[in-house]
Structure 1
Amino acid sequence: MKQLLNTVYVSDPEVYLALKGSNLNLIKENDSIARVPLHNIEAICTFGHQGASPALIHECMDRQISITFFSSGGRFRGRVTGEMNGNVTLRKKQYKVSEDELECADIAKHIVIGKLFNSEQVLKRIVRDHELRVDSKKLMQAIERLKESRKLAAGTQDLESLRGIEGNAASAYFSVFNECIIQQKESFSFSSRSRRPPLDPVNALLSFSYSLLASETAAALEGVGLDSYVGFMHRDRPGRISLALDVMEEMRPLIADRFVLKLINRQQVNRKDFVVKENGAVLLTDQARKTFLQLWQKEKQDTFTHPFLKEKMPWGLAPHVQSLLLARYLRGDLEAYPPILIR
């Protein structure tokens, strides 16, 4: 099993990334403020505009350490990676499958089923843990709609139909997401999903967590030799990590959505942690983003038992395991791609 190494999050937009010996050297105002040994790192995520030195980029490429660049507001800007692992046969198979609508639909079907099942579990847990504080009837109706959508997805072999089923199910899920917010209702009211830009604090947290999960999933896919830009459900678009967006779908409820709800309901974030830009975009403050990243990294250390492998592992390995299972399916070692299903 892959070792879960550290992801370094550089949240200060004024910090420049450099190389010092075999260490990541963080520089601010010409002073070194921290050094991290590269052998302990599997990825670097930096937020802001200072950038990284060519020497560090080259060293990270040699060591297969990805560097992901985000804007100060948390929007994905790009990634630098080294030579792709794996053999050309696996990638050729991926490209061939991506051109076949029926094969794409077969993979997408399992991904959608996984996403809908896990979305159901998020809502069921809220009903179970807070039955007297939420509109249980409303939540149960949404759960039933998700179940019906899951049954429809299981019997569908058409890619466009699957996208429609997934979209309708997502609408049902987010229509009751506000019920999952138990604490700080006056500051964290949620009415609908808004992306570019996020227009309220809940959407800001969701968008930020999805960006992080997408980046980590892309790195995991490349780690097993797959091309993170060539997807099966999300179609090709220049600059879009389509396969990462595919694979992360089933993990959104389990990792990102649950994490955001924990932050709000445990009051680890509050209204003063957000700023509103002139265009209406709501973003985390620099300090709040730092807190978010610290808690995100800690959350990745929590363990679960993978339902297919029957093995206990930290949540941070979930993207790596699902990427490996997808590669095994494409190689013909598995009859079907097994999505991660957690009750």
Structure 2
Amino acid sequence: MKLATPRWWYVRESAPAPITRALLTPVSWIWAAVTANKIAKTVSVDPGVPVVCIGNLTVGGVGKTPIVREIVRLLRAAGIEAHGLSRGYGGRLAGPVRVDPADHTAADVGDEPLMLAGDMPFWVSRDRPAGALAAAAAGAQAVVMDDGHQNLSVKKTLSLVVVDGETRNNEWPFGDGAVFPAGPMREPLKAGLARADAVIVLLPADLPSADPELLALFSGKPVFIARLEPAAPPPSGPQVGFAGIGKPWKVERSLAAAGCDLKDFAPFPDHGAYDEATLEALARRAEDFDAGLVTTEKDWVRLPPQWRERIKAWPVRARFEDEAAVEVLLTSTLSAHPREGGEPS
């Protein structure tokens, strides 16, 4: 059974669940120690091509996948044959396998890989080094890895950490800094930042600027601001929305900010499957408002085929404020990566 992301994780002050936090804190100490030990003992495999890791410091959604899509787009626009790579969370295939949207389903390869494979060559592999090697053997000149900042099994040329930059309503990307399960952190902030080459702060389209207090945490690291923007207007007319992502409440906010006539919204756990009973209940709720149904692209690919005809997907894209600076970082770093034999790529 998948559980929804606790919203109280992201409250910086006056936590509404102090007893829960206290009970989970000893478990968080164990989690942090196990993570640190695993990182220290892992031997990295070099697949022979540059690897760009798009990772994060917290559990739950921060917007890594839209950043992966945009980084691959920039690399391919620069003439670099970039492939995506993921462990394929939620999929049954261990891989390495190249995702084919015509043949695979979200149950096979996971929802995010299936979504991204429509835009780029994309691989899933629970053994990440094997996946990177398979991509390289298939002609990839660079591999962009979705997630894996805490996984050092693949040698990374560039480690980019994505941070959710939305800090309103007393929400803070790192909560009070507690490590999972007492808070959202995968590892302590200082430890995670030490392995990052740069930070990407992702803002919603309607937030004017990043919080200076948040940016101050990343002093000494290059920081790039990106915005999550609608790739198309929301569906017209009244709508009932739903989403099963790390922070579903952010989809609700974004739809409303984009002008959607949103009558109701239902949150679900990240990566969760939608059974017929759930979808029928959503359809009845939409009928109550004489409304349509709208969800994210990531949720839409998890729907049964017959329901995709009844539910609209609302696409969003990440765009960098200083795209040229990101291109310089990518091309300069990757051009210095030595191929096997020591020659620059």
The TM-score with structure 1 as length reference comes to: 0.26
Which is richer in helix? 1
Q: Which has the higher contact order (CA 8 A, sep 6+)?
A: 2
Q: What is the TM-score of this pair, normalised by structure 2?
A: 0.26
